């Protein structure tokens, strides 16, 4: 970190809602957003955007003839980006940069186009341009009428926080002084859910809390998929209107034993958190928003990494995946949104099924973690002005 970076806006659409009021209201209750839905005759637990908020996406889809062929991943990104830029007061003439990622991209469209190809042995005309990963940022740039750099990428479940890292790098380089960053994901499709079930990490019990993220005593995996998008506006310097300032960034990748492995004490997280902390006193971290996907190994290894860094003085820890599921590429900025809301509201969002959960005395400094398949971890240190 060379230049101070301010977060001047954050906007999202997910199972929590579509604005700060809805999102914070839903965070403050102990109810989860997970429901059972049918996918090609098979039921699965998912956290989907509400039907009322889906109508907003449908309005967006019908607002421009070119948007009718777009995947929900792109539409969610456009919706959240419009709101974030509006909050920040940015104008298209400012030519800010855009970096929006997704773990899986246009999942629903790809599955439908492939199904059609298998049936007819022909690809539909728009199958390529509407399923390429790069069309997320490019359609957002088109919608906002910007002329700055536009980047899309996929780095699995740490995608959104890698977008934030990239935005910071552009700002530090002096090539831009503002960047819109985030992630978008619409993975609630039959094939995507089947893939997670094949890995044997998916929840299969509709309990009071189907996803038991951060329950370190669970004896079965409980990951649940969610959908949504979250965008963050970054600006150079310490701004008076900043929601939070970024005090540190960290990233690391560890050597894999197999495609989805992570070491028992998450060496990648240890390195990313150390890097994010730098010279910042570890004892001054009040809260960590963990990645904690609800899997046995994923939750425990991250917790052990936190113990390795913070020793006997662990901060309060939380996660939002018990409530909204795992939104893959969007999860990092949705976790960032939770961190910012806790900083703004000075209220810790605890996990209701955990006993004797540590409460922070204050919320001034929050560390946000994300990691994806491939052992690529990112940690972001946020502080309240």
> Helices (DSSP H) in 292-379: which residue ranges?
296-310, 321-324, 331-345
* Residues 98 and 135 sit within 8 Å (Cβ to Cβ): no
For the stretch 179-235, pLDDT in tens is 999 999 999 999 999 999 999 999 998 889 999 999 999 999 999 999 999 999 999
Count how many Cα atoms sit within 13 Å of the Cα of residue 162 in the half-sphere of its side chain: 23
Enumerate residue ranges in the chain where pLDDT < 70.
1, 256-262
For the stretch 27-45, pLDDT in tens is 999 999 999 999 999 999 9
pLDDT value of position 264: 75
pTM over 0.75: yes
**Count of Cβ atoms closer than 10 Å to residue 297 Cβ:** 16
**Count of Cβ atoms closer than 10 Å to residue 93 Cβ:** 9
pLDDT value of position 130: 92
3-state helix, strand, coil in the chain (%, to 5): 40, 25, 40
CA distance 101 to 135: 10
CA distance 323 to 340: 17
Count how many Cα atoms sit within 13 Å of the Cα of residue 101 in the half-sphere of its side chain: 23
pLDDT value of position 146: 94
pLDDT value of position 206: 80
pLDDT value of position 138: 96
CA distance 33 to 13: 13
CA distance 293 to 199: 14
pLDDT value of position 259: 47
> Dihedral through CA 319, CA 322, CA 326, CA 331, nearest 10?
-30
pLDDT value of position 19: 96
């Amino acid at each position: 970190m060379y230049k101070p970076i301010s977060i001047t806006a954050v906007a999202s659409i997910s199972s929590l809602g579509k604005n700060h009021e809805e999102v914070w209201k839903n965070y403050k209750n102990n109810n989860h957003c997970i429901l059972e839905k049918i996918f090609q005759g098979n039921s699965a637990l998912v956290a989907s955007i509400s039907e009322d908020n889906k109508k907003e996406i449908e309005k967006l889809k019908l607002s421009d003839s070119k948007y009718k062929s777009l995947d929900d991943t792109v539409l969610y990104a456009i919706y959240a980006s419009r709101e974030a830029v509006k909050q920040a007061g940015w104008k298209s003439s400012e030519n800010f940069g855009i970096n929006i990622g997704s773990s899986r991209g246009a999942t629903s469209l790809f599955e439908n186009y492939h199904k059609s190809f298998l049936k007819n042995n022909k690809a539909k005309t728009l199958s390529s341009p509407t399923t390429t990963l790069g069309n997320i940022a490019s359609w957002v740039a088109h919608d906002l009428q910007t002329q700055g750099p536009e980047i899309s990428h996929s780095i699995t479940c740490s995608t959104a926080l890698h977008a934030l890292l990239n935005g910071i790098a552009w700002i530090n380089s002096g090539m831009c002084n503002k960047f819109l960053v985030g992630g978008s994901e619409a993975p609630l499709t039959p094939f995507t859910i089947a893939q997670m079930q094949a890995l044997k990490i998916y929840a299969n019990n509709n309990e009071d809390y189907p996803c038991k993220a951060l329950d370190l005593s669970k004896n079965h995996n409980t990951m649940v998929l969610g959908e949504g998008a979250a965008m963050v506006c970054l600006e150079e310097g310490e701004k008076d209107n900043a929601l939070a300032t970024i005090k540190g960034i960290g990233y690391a990748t560890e050597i894999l034993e197999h495609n989805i492995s992570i070491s028992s004490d998450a060496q990648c997280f240890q390195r990313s958190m150390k890097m994010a902390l730098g010279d910042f006193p570890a004892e001054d971290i009040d809260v960590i928003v963990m990645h904690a996907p609800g899997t046995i190994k994923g939750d425990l290894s991250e917790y052990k990494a936190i113990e390795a860094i913070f020793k006997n003085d662990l901060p309060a820890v939380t996660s939002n995946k018990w409530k909204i599921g795992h939104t893959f590429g969007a999860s990092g900025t949705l976790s960032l949104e939770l961190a910012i809301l806790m900083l703004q509201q000075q209220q810790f969002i605890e996990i209701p099924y955990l006993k004797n959960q540590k409460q922070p005395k204050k919320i001034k400094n929050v560390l946000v973690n994300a990691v994806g398949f491939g052992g690529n971890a990112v940690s972001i240190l946020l502080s309240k002005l």
